[in-house]
Amino acid sequence: MKKKDLISIRDLGKDEIENLFSLAKKMEGAAKSGKKFFNDKIVFNLFFEPSTRTNLSFQAAAARLGCTPVAFNPQVGSVQKGETFSDTIKIIDGYCDVIVIRHALEGSARFASQIAEHPVINAGDGGNQHPTQTLIDLYTISKIKGKIKGLSVHLVGDLKHARAMRSLLYGLGMFGAEVTLTAPVGLEMDPAIINEVKEKFGTKIRLTGKVDLKDADVLYVCRVQKERFADPYEAEKIKKEFRINPEYLERAKDDMIILHPLPKIDEIPEEVDKSKHAKYFEQARNGIPIRMAVLYTVLGGSGA
């Protein structure tokens, strides 16, 4: 990893990602056995936006490695007194060995990595990147399907605002999947990102505004992010149009899997949770070994 930071999925090559997958498998065993790798490292979670899975799984991953996780709440910190972002990073950098950061502003994680002397891991910067989520997604697909290359993967929902989708499209292209992008009008993926993946990896990418799963091996759904809309009524209208109802599954392949970065609201109803296709809770559990592998790597671990 460049500078031992992880800011974008572009920071990683295919071989590095495959090495992280191999390490994650070892971490699954280590987590079960209780094996620890560190006893003097502090991992600081600096989250300026709400988070459940990413925040808690990084804390759990750090604890399972033997590190001490520390969670920072900006609502009760000096940020409320007007402390600058750069000063906050400099202070926290002096307290820890790794900074895991989530922030609403695109580019904030990269900026933090330029200030901090210790490794910085991007846990989501606005609508830009979420690299560890992409690693979890690719790892889950590979574990369940046995491969990624040649699979038909459908990304469905608000593709304009979802940082997980931007990172994932790049990762899927790197590993040779065929991708269908299904989004409402006005919420399509940024053409620059699509063109980058096509040019870099030769990925076959199809664009559509209608959900059709008959050829899908993987359905990846993301929620309509109401918090990123100026008009909440427009967000509600779009949510209803792109709800994955059980009827869609009747036309799907028997072994198609459904993934979701979570939280899901009502874009996937509860009855779908009970279907054999639903794999998003397993996907969320994979966050522990993957984030253990990432932390282990940026901390320069050995002996796994």
- From 54, 88, 180, 203, active-site residue: 54
Q: What is the pLDDT along the chain (304 residues), one digit of tens a residue?
A: 445 899 999 999 999 999 999 999 999 999 889 999 999 999 999 998 878 889 999 999 999 999 999 998 766 555 665 789 999 999 999 999 999 999 988 899 999 999 999 999 999 887 678 899 999 999 999 999 999 999 999 999 989 888 789 899 999 999 999 999 999 888 899 999 999 999 999 999 999 988 889 999 999 998 776 666 678 787 777 777 788 988 889 889 999 999 999 988 888 999 999 999 999 999 999 999 999 999 999 999 876 7
- From 41, 64, 118, 130, active-site residue: 130
Do 151 and 249 belong to one domain? yes
Do 225 and 241 belong to one domain? yes
DSSP symbols for 3-42: GG-B--GGG--HHHHHHHHHHHHHHHHHHHHT----SS-E
Do 226 and 182 belong to one domain? yes
Residue 54 is a catalytic residue: yes
Do 161 and 70 belong to one domain? no
Do 271 and 293 belong to one domain? no
Residue 130 is a catalytic residue: yes
Do 248 and 291 belong to one domain? no
Q: Confirm whether pTM is higher than 0.85.
A: yes
Do 88 and 173 belong to one domain? no
- From 102, 154, 163, 279, active-site residue: 102
> 68: part of which helix (H) or strand (E)?
strand 68-72
Residue 84 is a catalytic residue: no
Q: What is the CATH number of the domain that holds 74?
A: 3.40.50.1370
Torsion of CA 27, 29, 31, 37, to 10 degrees: -60
Range(s) of the domain holding residue 90: 2-129+287-298
Residue 134 is a catalytic residue: no
Residue 118 is a catalytic residue: no
In a domain, 303, yes or no: no
In a domain, 304, yes or no: no
- From 10, 35, 53, 226, active-site residue: 53
Do 157 and 247 belong to one domain? yes
**3-class secondary structure per residue, 251-302:** CCCCCCEEECCCCCCCCCCHHHHCCCCECHHHHHHCHHHHHHHHHHHHCCCC
